[in-house]
């Protein structure tokens, strides 16, 4: 089997560190990149040894299949520093396994798990000074794989590249998010690639999302592709709805991405004694609840923002406002998750991994 230890990974250091010029007090989300990246090539039928090299441009042939057939997958995760400078990841094996689930669906060769984990640990060791310490900040980690092999023939490439790039980021703040429940366009379909973190899933969302923005909404709530009667995701986040005191979310399927945050929200809610139901949620049920006052909260869940509260939604030319709650489930659950991620609270679930 392919296996590697982080100490076997060669490091080629940059001579032009940007660390001193980086303003860690005013970081946006995913706009500044650290000095080094991990790279690893697949060729001759195997994943070659990963290396760490300066973050910089990569050179590809115009016939590289990523440009033509979109074989491209990614992950999103974060590293946190506690007040003593210790570094933590949050449920990282979930990301490793999901990358390979996505790889399989896109006919990309699966990556040995320790190339990812040991590679990431080695990279974080080199880049530890890039992990922000400021409250709410973190180091956003973007692992991705794409087809570098050449050919205009529509078939899987014979060469790929795995990269991990890092972006020190401030708190992700979307502000008040008004969403539009979408009935025409779909994010994913039965038997499709919706459960994979495939680049093309995002490309397909941009146009309908732009149309929603033109109408004054910030984001789209996707519904199922056949009946458009059930909600599925909020933009590129999983979606939760609170009706009275019950927290509802859709079951995962081949159309819905199995989010690490979604799983964590469900677990924390259970731990807090909040009633949860994982079942299909009808748009008509939400509209009804909004009309009779039973709809208390809606929020998106994903790594970037952890939880992103929704302030209102539009459906068929009607707008509905959500109440502003003092002690919302959204804020209670977010605090519990962030405190575990940043080593401010006990971690009864064993989610935190020190690196
Ligand atoms: C990444 C992603 C999520 C959130 O997943 P996390 O593991 O919680 O970050 C949800 N939906 C879609 C479509 C995604 O791409």
Residue in 118, 82, 86, 112 with CA at minimum distance from that of residue 99 = 112
Q: Are 161 and 40 in contact (CB under 8 A)?
A: yes
Claim to verify: residue 133 and residue 186 sit in the same structural domain? no
Ramachandran angles phi, psi of 135, nearest 5°: -45, 130
Q: Within a 10 A sphere around the Cβ of 153, how many other Cβ atoms?
A: 11
Is the model's pLDDT at 53 over the cut of 90? Answer: yes
* Interval 151-176 mean pLDDT: 93
Instruction: Tell the residue nearest (CA) to atom 12 of ligand 1.
Output: 236
Q: How high is the pLDDT of residue 173? A: 76
Q: How high is the pLDDT of residue 175? A: 78
Instruction: Tell the residue nearest (CA) to atom 15 of ligand 1.
Output: 236
Q: Are 194 and 205 in contact (CB under 8 A)?
A: no
Is the model's pLDDT at 321 over the cut of 70? Answer: yes
Whole-number average pLDDT of the chain: 97
Residue in 157, 135, 136 with CA at minimum distance from that of residue 145 = 157
pLDDT above 70 as % of the chain:
100
The tens digit of pLDDT for each residue in 191-241 reads: 999 999 999 999 999 999 999 999 999 999 999 999 999 999 999 999 999
Is the model's pLDDT at 346 over the cut of 60? Answer: yes
* Interval 115-129 mean pLDDT: 98
* Lining residues, ligand 1, CB within 6 Å: 76, 197, 233, 236-238, 257, 259-262, 302-303
The CATH code of the domain that includes 115 is 3.30.470.10
Mutate to test the pocket of ligand 1, among 29, 30, 73, 76 (most ligand atoms within 8 A of CB): 76
The tens digit of pLDDT for each residue in 244-292 reads: 999 999 999 999 999 999 999 999 999 999 999 999 999 999 999 999 9
3-state DSSP assignment of residue 60: coil
Q: Are 241 and 248 in contact (CB under 8 A)?
A: yes
By DSSP bridging, strand 87-90 and strand 138-147 are unpaired
Claim to verify: residue 141 and residue 72 sit in the same structural domain? yes
Mutate to test the pocket of ligand 1, among 259, 260, 337 (most ligand atoms within 8 A of CB): 259
Claim to verify: residue 229 and residue 330 sit in the same structural domain? yes
Distances (CA, A) of 186 to 49, 181, 234, 341: 39, 11, 12, 33
Q: Residue 249: give the domain boundaries.
A: 177-341
The CATH code of the domain that includes 242 is 3.20.10.10
Q: How high is the pLDDT of residue 100? A: 98
Q: Are 38 and 123 in contact (CB under 8 A)?
A: yes
Q: Does 351 reside within a domain?
A: no
Claim to verify: residue 22 and residue 138 sit in the same structural domain? yes
Q: Where is the domain boundary, 128, 151, 169?
A: 169
Claim to verify: residue 91 and residue 213 sit in the same structural domain? no
Burial class for 252, CB neighbours closer than 10 Å (0-12, 13-18, 19+): middle
pLDDT above 90 as % of the chain:
96
Calpha distance 5→201 (Å, rounded): 33
pTM for the whole structure? 0.97
Ligand 1 atom at minimal distance to the Cα of residue 194: 13
Residue in 145, 184, 177 with CA at minimum distance from that of residue 298 = 177
Is the model's pLDDT at 1 over the cut of 60? Answer: no
* Interval 128-151 mean pLDDT: 96
Q: Does 349 reside within a domain?
A: no
Total domains present in the chain: 2
Claim to verify: residue 139 and residue 192 sit in the same structural domain? no
Q: What tokens does 305 get? A: 């923002």
User: What's the CA-to-centroid distance between 260 and ligand 1, angstroms?
Assistant: 7
Q: Where is the domain boundary, 169, 194, 227?
A: 169
User: What's the CA-to-centroid distance between 188 and ligand 1, angstroms?
Assistant: 14
Residue 90 banded pLDDT, cuts 50, 70, 90: very high
Sole residue written with tokens 């006919």 = 107
Claim to verify: residue 330 and residue 204 sit in the same structural domain? yes
Mutate to test the pocket of ligand 1, among 267, 302, 337, 351 (most ligand atoms within 8 A of CB): 302
Q: How high is the pLDDT of residue 3? A: 86
Claim to verify: residue 230 and residue 263 sit in the same structural domain? yes
Instruction: Tell the residue nearest (CA) to atom 3 of ligand 1.
Output: 237
Claim to verify: residue 182 and residue 163 sit in the same structural domain? no
The tens digit of pLDDT for each residue in 181-199 reads: 999 999 999 999 999 999 9
* Interval 151-163 mean pLDDT: 98
Residue 176 banded pLDDT, cuts 50, 70, 90: confident
């Amino acid at each position: 089997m392919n296996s590697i230890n982080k100490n076997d990974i060669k490091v080629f250091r940059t001579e032009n560190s940007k660390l001193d010029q980086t303003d860690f007090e005013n970081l946006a989300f995913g706009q500044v990149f650290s000095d080094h990246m991990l790279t690893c090539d697949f060729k001759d039928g195997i994943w070659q040894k990963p290396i760490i090299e300066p973050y910089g441009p990569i050179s590809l042939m115009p016939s590289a299949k990523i440009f033509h057939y979109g074989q491209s997958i990614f992950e999103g995760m974060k590293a946190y520093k506690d007040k003593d400078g210790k570094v933590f990841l949050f449920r990282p094996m979930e990301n490793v396994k999901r990358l390979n689930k996505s790889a399989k669906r896109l006919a990309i060769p699966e990556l040995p798990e320790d190339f990812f984990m040991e590679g990431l640990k080695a990279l974080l060791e080199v880049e530890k000074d890039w992990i922000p310490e400021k409250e709410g900040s973190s180091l956003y980690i973007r692992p991705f794989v794409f087809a570098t092999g050449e050919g205009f023939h529509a078939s899987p490439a014979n060469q790929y590249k795995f990269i991990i790039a890092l972006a020190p980021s401030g708190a992700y703040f979307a502000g008040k998010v008004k969403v539009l429940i979408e009935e025409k366009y779909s994010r994913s379909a039965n038997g499709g690639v919706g459960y994979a973190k495939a680049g093309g899933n995002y490309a397909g969302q941009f146009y309908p999302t732009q149309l929603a923005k033109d109408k004054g909404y910030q984001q789209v709530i996707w519904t199922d592709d056949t009946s458009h009667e059930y909600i599925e995701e909020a933009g590129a986040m999983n979606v939760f709805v609170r009706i009275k005191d019950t927290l509802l979310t859709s079951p995962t399927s081949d159309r819905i991405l199995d989010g690490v945050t979604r799983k964590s929200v469900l677990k924390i809610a259970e731990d807090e004694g909040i009633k949860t139901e994982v079942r299909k949620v009808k748009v008509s049920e939400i509209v009804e609840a909004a009309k009779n006052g039973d709809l208390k909260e809606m929020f998106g869940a994903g790594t970037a923002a952890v939880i992103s509260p929704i302030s209102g939604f539009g459906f068929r030319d009607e707008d509905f406002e959500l109440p502003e709650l003092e002690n919302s489930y959204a804020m209670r659950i977010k605090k519990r998750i962030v405190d575990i991620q940043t080593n401010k609270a006990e971690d009864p679930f064993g989610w935190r991994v020190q690196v």
